[in-house]
Amino acid sequence: MNIRKRSPVHNDSQNRKTKIIIITGDEQLINHFQQNTNGADTQMFDLDQTNFNGNIRELALLSELTDHNEIDDHIYRHMLRSPSTNNKAEVRNPTVTPSTTKSKRSELVCVVCGGKALGYNYDAITCMRKDFILTPEEKSRRRKRLEENNRRFSHGDIVTVNEEDDSDPKYNNSTGVVENLMNSTTAVDSGLLTDIDHLQLKYIEESFINAYQSTAIPSLPLQIKDKMDALTYVMDIQNFTALRLINYLKTIPEFEALDENDRFLLVKYNLVHVFILAKSLFYDHDNGVCNETVENLKQRKEIFILCHGDEIRNDFLQLVQSVKDTTENDPSIIHLLIIVIIFTKGLSLDNSESILSNYAQVYAAQCKYMTLLWYYMLEQYGEVATIEKFSKLITQILKIQMVTKNYKVFIKEQVDDLNRINPLMKSLLNLS
C-alpha cells in the first residue's frame, strides 16, 4: 500500500484537514474502504478501467490531489497526469469533444503509403512496411532475388524424395527442402548484383587501370648522397601514387559532383590512407617490395630502408600483406574500398580538418559504394565469409589510420629542407 500525505490546508471554518491519496491493488483494503467510509469525503476509482481517460471528474481530482507545492515533490503528479489533459482539468465541462479523443488504431492512416497504419516509426504514423522506404535500386534488387527464388522453386530444384524410403513422402519432401536450401545459398546469392551493378564494377575496374597507366614512374636517381636525398625520392614515388589515385577519383561521378572545396578536403585528409590499399595490388612478397616493375628492385628496397628504417617498413609490409590476404588479391574489393575510405569524414584524426560543405552528399556516396562492395563480396564469398572479411578489413583500416598518423609525424621530423618536397605531398602529409 502506498500512502501519500498532502500538506495541511485550511477550509472556510479554519479546520485543519489532511488530504490523503492511497494507490493500492489490495482487494481486501478496497472492500474495507467501500464499507466503512463516508462517500462525501472519500472518492474511489479504478486506474485500470478502459474509460479512465474520458472521466474528467476523476482526472480533475487527481490533478488537484497531486498538485506541486514548495513543501513536497511531484512524483505522483508525473505518474498520474493524463497526456490529454492540462495541469488543471475543469470539472465544469464534462463533455469530451471528438477532437480530443484518442484515435483508434484502426482509424490511423500511414503517412508514407496512405494505407492502414499499424504503429509509429520515428514519431510518424506508418504501416511499418519497409518496402515503401526502399530506394528504387533496392526495390529492383529485392524483386530480382525473389524472382530468382521463385524460379528455382518452380523448376523443382528443392524437391527430393528418397525412393528407397517413401513411407512418409511429406517428411522426405521437407528434408529435401532444408538440404537444398542450405546447399543453394551461394547459388541464390549470385543474383544479388543487378546488371547495372556489374556494369558499374566493370567501369570502376577500367577507370583504375587507365588511371594507373596515365602517369609515368619516376626514374631512379643517379646517386643517393644522404638521407634527405632518399626522402626526396620516396616523396616523388608517393607523389606518383597520389596523382594516379586522384585521376582515378576523377572518374567517379559522385566525387566529381561534390563541391570543389569538399573534393579538396577529402583528398587532402584521406588520400594517404588508401596508399596501402593501392600498394597491395602490386605487392611482391618474395622480394618485399610494392613496385609494378622488376627494374632496380634491390636499389629501390635499399632506398626505402634508408628513408624509413626497418620498423616503419615492416609495419607497412605487414599491413599490405594482411590486406592482400583478406581480399584474396581481388582488385574489385580494393577499387571499391578506396572509394569508401575517400568518402569517410574524420579518418585523419586531425583536429584542424575543416567541415564539409555538404556532408549528406558525401555520406550518401559512401553508402552507395559500401552497399555495392557488400553485395559484391556476398556474391563472391557467401554471407559467413563476407562478415569475417569485413571484420578483418575494419581492423586493418583502423591500423592504417594509426600507421598513417605516425608516418606523418615521422616524415615531419626527418625532413630538413621542405623546399625539396613536392607541393602535393607537402599538402597531403601536412608538412609546413
Say if residue 272's pLDDT is above 90. yes
Q: Distance (Å, rounded) from C-alpha 61 to C-alpha 127? A: 38
pLDDT at res. 314: 85
pTM confidence score: 0.56
Q: Please report the pLDDT score of residue 64 as a whole number.
A: 52
DSSP for residue 409: H
Residues near 24 by beta carbon (within 8 Å), at least 6 away in sequence: 1, 2, 30
Between CA 231 and CA 157 the distance in angstroms is 63
Q: Do 222 and 352 touch, CB atoms closer than 8 A?
A: no
- What sections of 166-295 are H helices per DSSP? 169-183, 185-189, 195-212, 227-249, 253-256, 260-270, 275-280
Coil vs helix vs strand at 140: helix
Tell which wins on pLDDT, 264 or 178.
Answer: 264
Q: What is the pLDDT of residues 112-133, one digit of tens each?
A: 566 666 555 545 555 545 444 5
338 or 187: which leads in pLDDT: 338
Question: Residue 134 and residue 129: Cα distance in Å, rounded?
Answer: 10
Number of helices (H), then strands (E), belonging to the chain: the values are 16, 6
Which carries the bigger pLDDT value, residue 421 or residue 107? 421
Q: Which has more confidence, 86 or 274?
A: 274
DSSP string, 27-93: HHHHHHHHHHS-TTT-----TT-TTGGG-HHHHHHHHHHT---SSS--HHHHHH--TTS-SS--TT-
* Tens of pLDDT, residues 35-55: 776 666 677 767 665 454 445
Distance CA 185, CA 41 (A): 73
What amino acid occupies position 388?
E
Q: How confident is the model at residue 257 (pLDDT cuts 50, 70, 90)?
A: very high
* 238 pLDDT above the threshold of 80: yes
CA separation for the pair 143, 93 (Å, rounded): 56
For the stretch 67-104, pLDDT in tens is 444 444 443 333 334 444 344 433 344 444 444 444 44
Nearby residues of 186 by Cβ (< 8 Å), 6 or more positions away: 382
pLDDT at residue number 245: 94
pLDDT, tens digit, 9 for 90 and up, residues 284-331: 776 666 666 556 667 777 787 787 877 888 888 889 999 999 999 899
Question: What's the mean pLDDT when you consider all of the chain?
Answer: 72
Structural contact between residues 400 and 270, judged by C-beta atoms closer than 8 angstroms: no
Which has the higher per-residue pLDDT, 108 or 124? Answer: 108
Q: Which residues of 324-358 are buried (b: 16+ CB within 10 A; e: fewer)?
A: bebbeebebbbbbbbbbbbbbbebbeeeebeebee
All 3 cell numbers of residue 321?
A: 600483406
Domain 195-428 CATH class label: mainly alpha
Q: Name the segment(s) of the chain with CATH classification 1.10.565.10.
A: 195-428
**Greater confidence, 340 or 6?**
340
What pLDDT sits at residue 15?
Answer: 55
Is the Cα torsion angle 220, 222, 224, 229 positive or negative in sign?
negative
